[in-house]
């Protein structure tokens, strides 16, 4: 009898260890003020299980991550793919390459980040959100970016005030793309410090974030904007492996988001590299010389 009880307990323990429960959530981002604020407006539907995630952009005006497109990862973002179901394309989402291009652009345009300051203004126990305990943070980051390019000199002072409600109760690495965050490097020391400060502010999964941004250029022109991201639904799920599988019959294409954003004639998921944009071509040539 005792043997049966012990075996039964062991069986239950094994079942508990092998039956993982993932998470499904919806988040909404709204922006106001500033130029092109509508590009930040988005709704996301995500399914996460351990290091696996499928993050679909159900509403988006971002040219790289259009409505219906989604990100797939099986290793918490170390390797990720942007999938375009409308055109049956997928592209490797290489964050290191994108950040390398940003670092290369900063070098080409003689961009420097000065007077960087990051402050933690508040850390306290926050309210429960969607059944999860939170820590409430407030941060303030400020810096000045200077550009000296082809005779053009410009400086812009930026101040960001962030308020976050973060939970550490959810342990799935893919919720925060943990592997990707650890490797975010541009090769530019100033920019890498700014990114590291942003990434290391608060550990855990943000359930609500309010960011107030203000910029003032050297001519005294000022802009203010506010972006709010909020997870609106969160529930446990047990997704099958097919949720995170690349759909069959799709074609792989190079992704060059910088070209799309700079008018190089390529949309996300397309294979055209650089288009006819002269600034992008100059950047690509400089990056080749630095390799």
pTM comes to 0.77
Q: Which of 141, 67, 155, 148 is nearest to 108 (CA)?
A: 148
- What is the distance in angstroms between the CA of the first residue and the CA of the last residue of the chain? 70
Q: What is the pLDDT of residues 60-119, one digit of tens each?
A: 988 778 999 999 999 998 889 999 999 999 999 877 667 667 767 777 777 888 888 889
Q: What is the pLDDT of residues 179-232, one digit of tens each?
A: 566 566 656 676 667 766 766 678 899 999 999 999 998 888 999 999 999 999
Q: What is the pLDDT of residues 122-164, one digit of tens each?
A: 999 999 999 999 999 999 999 998 888 777 788 899 999 999 9
Q: CA 236 from chain center: how many Å? A: 23
Residue 257 has pLDDT above 80, yes or no: no
The domain limits of the chain are 20-290
Q: What is the CA radius of gyration of the chain?
A: 22
């Amino acid at each position: 009898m005792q043997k049966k009880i012990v075996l039964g307990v062991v069986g239950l323990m094994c079942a508990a260890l092998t039956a993982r429960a993932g998470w499904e959530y919806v988040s909404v981002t709204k922006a106001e003020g500033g130029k092109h604020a509508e590009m930040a407006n988005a709704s996301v539907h995500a399914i996460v299980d351990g290091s696996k995630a499928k993050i679909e952009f159900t509403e988006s005006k971002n040219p790289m991550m259009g409505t219906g497109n989604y990100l797939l990862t099986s290793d918490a973002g170390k390797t990720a793919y942007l999938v375009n179901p409308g055109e049956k394309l997928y592209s490797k989402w290489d964050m290191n390459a994108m950040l390398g291009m940003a670092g290369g652009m900063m070098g080409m345009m003689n961009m420097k980040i000065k007077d960087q300051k990051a402050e933690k203004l508040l850390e306290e126990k926050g309210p429960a959100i969607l059944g999860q305990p939170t820590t409430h943070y407030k941060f303030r980051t400020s810096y000045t970016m200077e550009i000296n390019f082809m005779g053009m000199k410009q400086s812009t002072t930026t101040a960001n005030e962030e308020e976050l409600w973060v939970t550490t109760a959810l342990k799935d690495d893919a919720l925060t793309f943990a592997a990707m965050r650890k490797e975010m490097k541009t090769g530019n020391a100033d920019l890498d410090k700014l990114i590291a400060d942003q990434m290391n502010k608060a550990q855990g999964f943000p359930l609500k974030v309010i960011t107030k941004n203000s910029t003032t250029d050297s001519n005294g022109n000022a802009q203010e904007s506010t972006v709010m991201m909020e997870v609106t639904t969160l529930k446990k799920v047990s997704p099958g492996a097919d949720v995170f599988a690349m759909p069959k019959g799709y074609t792989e294409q190079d992704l060059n988001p910088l070209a799309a954003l700079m008018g190089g004639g390529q949309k996300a998921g397309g294979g055209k590299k650089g288009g006819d944009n002269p600034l992008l071509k100059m950047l690509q040539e400089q990056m080749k010389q630095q390799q």
